[in-house]
Amino acid sequence: MKQDNITKAHARIQQFIHRTPVLSSQLINQKVEADLYFKCENFQKMGAFKMRGATNAILKLTEEQRSKGVVTHSSGNFAQALSLAAKSLGVKAHIVMPENAPQVKKNAVLQYNGSITECESTTKARQETANRIQDSTGATFIHPSNDMDVIIGNGTACKELLEDYNDLDYIVCPIGGGGLIAGTALAAHYFGKQCQVIGAEPMVVDDAYRSIMSGKIETNSSTNTIADGLKTQLGDINFPIIQKHIKQIIRVEESEIISAMILVFERLKIVIEPSSAVALAAVIKQKEHFKNKKIGVLFSGGNVDLSRLPF
């Protein structure tokens, strides 16, 4: 039973994660004419919700599996999350990264003792390299978003939000690989009172929107968005959950993402990454739809390259 799974996952990971605060802004509420509750996973350990799923996935392994390490391919937050979660639990983490990944992302993994293996920047090369590491070390592969333990771990953010505010009408959540929104949808289903989860996606990488429409996993022909955490596509484990629970996905323009990001920096005085701003941008865009409602907004993370802020 999933409710129980999320509750158990929460108890399992609790000592390794932060219970992140929920912030509000009178001024933003006035602007959108609704009550917004921002779940601040930018304050999570290593700066993103991915710490939850990574920790849960490692803790679900047997002693023997853990002794052989874990492996993933990611150039983003999951690479850091798996490295830090593994370090906290005394497990070896192998991270496959494209050779052209920015040095700042490699450094972020290295500071958490992740062991980097570089490969060509193609999906095929990433998967093959991860497979090779699995074969040679016996490490367990943990996918950044298409893994049930990762999904359930991610769902604990929504569980906490609903513990703090149990009468939310909506929760708006960014969609990238689908691991956060799938976990959020499950948690809202089990812990909310008819709380509906709505997806938020950049227009230029609207693969989830199109996937819901077509009934099969779609891909993006271009990934030219500032929301670098949302470029990836859905997977066969999270897609059925999303199909079942998510009735609406709001797509936003790049300029709307940047405006929302500025609003958060200026008014909430917190640092979020563009992927987080996508959720607020969606609420602002569909203001009429949300009028006078109570809305949870999931800020997925705060790992942004300060030298490349869009303002």
Q: Which stretch binds its own copies (CB under 8 A): 61-69, 130-138, 201-209, 258-266?
A: 258-266
Nearer to its own copies, 47 or 53 (CB): 47
Residue 177 C-beta: closest distance to its own copies, Å: 22
Residue 2 C-beta: closest distance to its own copies, Å: 31
Beta-carbon count within 10 A of 37 CB: 18
Binding of its own copies at residue 311 (CB under 8 A)?
yes
Residues facing 197 on adjacent strands: 171
The residue whose two tokens read 């303002």 is: 311
Closest CA to 232 of 220, 245, 224: 220
Binding of its own copies at residue 42 (CB under 8 A)?
yes
Binding of its own copies at residue 114 (CB under 8 A)?
no
* CB-CB contact of 142 with 59 (8 Å): no
Phi, psi for residue 108 in degrees, rounded to 5: -60, -35
Q: Which stretch binds its own copies (CB under 8 A): 3-11, 208-216, 236-244, 264-272?
A: 264-272
Two structure tokens written together for 299:
């800020």
* CB-CB contact of 168 with 187 (8 Å): no
User: What is the Cα–Cα distance from 273 to 248, expressed in whole angstroms?
Assistant: 23
Active site residue 75: yes
Binding of its own copies at residue 269 (CB under 8 A)?
yes
Active-site choice (74, 75, 83, 300): 75
Contact map string, positions 273 to 302, toward its own copies, x by CB under 8 A: -----------------------------x
Two structure tokens written together for 122:
């193609």
User: What is the Cα–Cα distance from 65 to 91, expressed in whole angstroms?
Assistant: 10
Nearer to its own copies, 290 or 299 (CB): 299
Active site residue 124: no
Residues facing 294 on adjacent strands: 35
**Catalytically annotated residues:** 50, 75
Residues that bind its own copies (CB under 8 A): 21, 42-43, 47, 262, 265-266, 269-272, 302, 306-307, 309, 311
